[in-house]
């Protein structure tokens, strides 16, 4: 066996050593490459992961910035949101607030105490309204509350007429006063007091009341007691007795009382006067009628106490009937208003005036200027709110 050849072969030793070293290095390089590739893969993934997170953060920051700008812009107009909501809800709350506040308000004129102002107005109107306690027909004949015709006292026709003074009181009517003094026809008070329109009578006015029904006749030139007797179909003896005359001789301008005489139907109708005239003399627009309607502010159904007559601010307002100014003042609901007491149970209210011309306690004739159209109080625009009361109750102004 040739051991020496093997041991002594240096080439083999070198080749083997080189091969081992080469294999080891190659393995090491392979391992290193594997590690490098693995590390590169991991590093690559890590970089990509880091990149995605950063991009997300950057993206979010960008979106937040945009949102912030939008919010910043929106914040400038954020105050509009509550304003819009307030505008939408305010009519309802304003209405409720007015009702609540007015329930505790104390207006000098209307004197509301723990009640809504509308109710206070009703009370004020009722307090001063003239209640009718007796009635009369188209001929002036007076009837009691039971519908029984009042008869004249014939015994008094033979006695001299006696005149009494009477002061009209709230609650009085022409028929009521007549009945109180035993008269049977309203013509007597109208004729004796030369009343051109019974609705011009007011509380506090002085009336002359005769003891019997009849008229006062003014003697004309060349007129005799006999001619007067024939004109009124009254006996001369009755004329002598009722006027306490000792002679039939008369003088021009002398006043003679004619017992039992009465106004003719045309004169009586004229004395009763036209019930109402329009409080506005220009063309107007009827914006709201009497009765139930939707409130213009809240939309809630409510009872409208009169009619609304729309026309320009400053338009003159006139008294629809003769009467006495009961109230003038301001109310948060009716604004500047005027209340007029008329005869025979009527009252009228004129509201939302821009200016009040009439004065409390003043006696005004039909058609007298009492104020100017306005937009004061609980109002949606310039107009006249016109209300009519009859014996303490609301009446549709379009029906009187």
pLDDT band at 270 (very low <50, low <70, confident <90, very high): confident
Q: Which residue has the higher pLDDT, 223 or 75?
A: 223
Task: Express each pLDDT in 63-106 by its tens digit.
Answer: 655 555 555 555 565 666 666 666 665 554 544 444 333 323 23
For 109-137, letters b (16+ CB in 10 Å) and e give bbebeeebbbebbbbbbeebbbebbbebe
Q: What is the DSSP letter of 185?
A: B
Q: Evaluate if residue 302 carries a pLDDT over 90.
A: no
Q: What's the token pair of residue 51?
A: 């990149």
Q: Which residue has the higher pLDDT, 321 or 229?
A: 229
- β-strands 346-356, 383-390: how paired? antiparallel
- Cβ atoms of 160 and 244 within 8 Å: the answer is yes
Q: How far apart are CA 27 and CA 366, in angstroms?
A: 129
pLDDT band at 116 (very low <50, low <70, confident <90, very high): low
Half-sphere exposure of 354 (CA within 13 A, CB side): 14
Q: Evaluate if residue 41 carries a pLDDT over 50.
A: no
In the predicted model, what is the mean pLDDT of the chain? 73
- CA 103 remoteness from chain centre: 16
Task: Express each pLDDT in 326-360 by its tens digit.
Answer: 999 998 888 999 999 886 678 899 999 999 999 99
pLDDT band at 295 (very low <50, low <70, confident <90, very high): low
In the predicted model, what is the mean pLDDT of residues 113-126? 48
Q: Evaluate if residue 252 carries a pLDDT over 60.
A: yes
What does the pLDDT read at residue 339?
A: 93
What does the pLDDT read at residue 5?
A: 38
Q: What's the token pair of residue 125?
A: 């109107």
254 backbone dihedrals φ, ψ, rounded to 5°: -70, 145
* Number of helices followed by number of strands (H, E) in the chain: 9, 18
Half-sphere exposure of 64 (CA within 13 A, CB side): 6
What does the pLDDT read at residue 293?
A: 62
Q: How far apart are CA 381 and CA 379, in angstroms?
A: 6
Q: Is residue 344 helix, strand or coil?
A: helix
């Amino acid at each position: 066996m040739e051991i020496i050849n093997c041991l002594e072969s240096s080439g083999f030793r070198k080749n083997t050593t080189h091969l081992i070293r080469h294999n080891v290095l190659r393995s090491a390089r392979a391992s290193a490459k594997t590690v490098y590739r693995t590390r590169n893969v991991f590093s690559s993934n890590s970089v990509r992961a880091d990149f995605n997170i950063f991009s997300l953060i950057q993206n979010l920051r960008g979106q937040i910035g945009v949102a912030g700008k939008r919010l910043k812009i929106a914040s400038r107009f954020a105050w509009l949101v509550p304003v819009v909501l307030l505008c939408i809800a305010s009519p309802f709350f304003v209405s409720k607030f007015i009702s609540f506040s007015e329930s505790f308000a104390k207006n000098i004129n209307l004197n509301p105490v723990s009640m809504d102002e509308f109710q206070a107005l009703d009370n004020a109107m009722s307090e001063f309204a003239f209640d009718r306690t007796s009635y009369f027909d188209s001929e002036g004949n007076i009837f009691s509350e039971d519908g029984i015709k009042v008869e004249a006292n014939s015994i008094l026709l033979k006695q001299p007429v006696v005149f009494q003074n009477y002061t009209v009181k709230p609650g009085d009517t022409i028929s009521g006063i007549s009945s109180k003094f035993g008269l049977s026809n309203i013509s007597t008070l109208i004729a004796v007091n030369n009343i051109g329109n019974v609705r011009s009578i007011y509380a506090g006015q002085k009336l002359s009341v005769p003891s019997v029904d009849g008229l006062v006749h003014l003697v004309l030139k060349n007129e005799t007691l006999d001619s007067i007797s024939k004109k009124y179909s009254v006996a001369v003896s009755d004329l002598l007795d009722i006027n306490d005359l000792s002679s039939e001789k008369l003088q021009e301008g002398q006043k003679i009382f004619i017992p039992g005489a009465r106004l003719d139907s045309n004169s009586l109708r004229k004395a009763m006067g036209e019930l109402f005239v329009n409080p506005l003399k220009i063309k107007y627009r009827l914006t709201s009628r009497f009765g139930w309607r939707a409130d213009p502010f809240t939309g809630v159904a409510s009872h409208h106490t009169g009619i609304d007559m729309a026309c320009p601010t400053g338009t003159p307002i006139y008294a629809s009937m003769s009467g006495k100014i009961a109230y003038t003042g301001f109310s948060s609901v009716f604004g500047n208003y005027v209340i007029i007491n008329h005869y025979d149970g009527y009252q009228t209210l004129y509201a939302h005036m821009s200016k009040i011309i009439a004065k409390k306690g003043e006696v005004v004739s039909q058609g007298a200027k009492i104020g100017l159209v306005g937009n004061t109080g609980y109002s949606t625009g310039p107009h006249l709110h016109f209300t009519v009361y009859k014996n303490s109750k609301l009446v549709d102004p379009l029906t009187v």
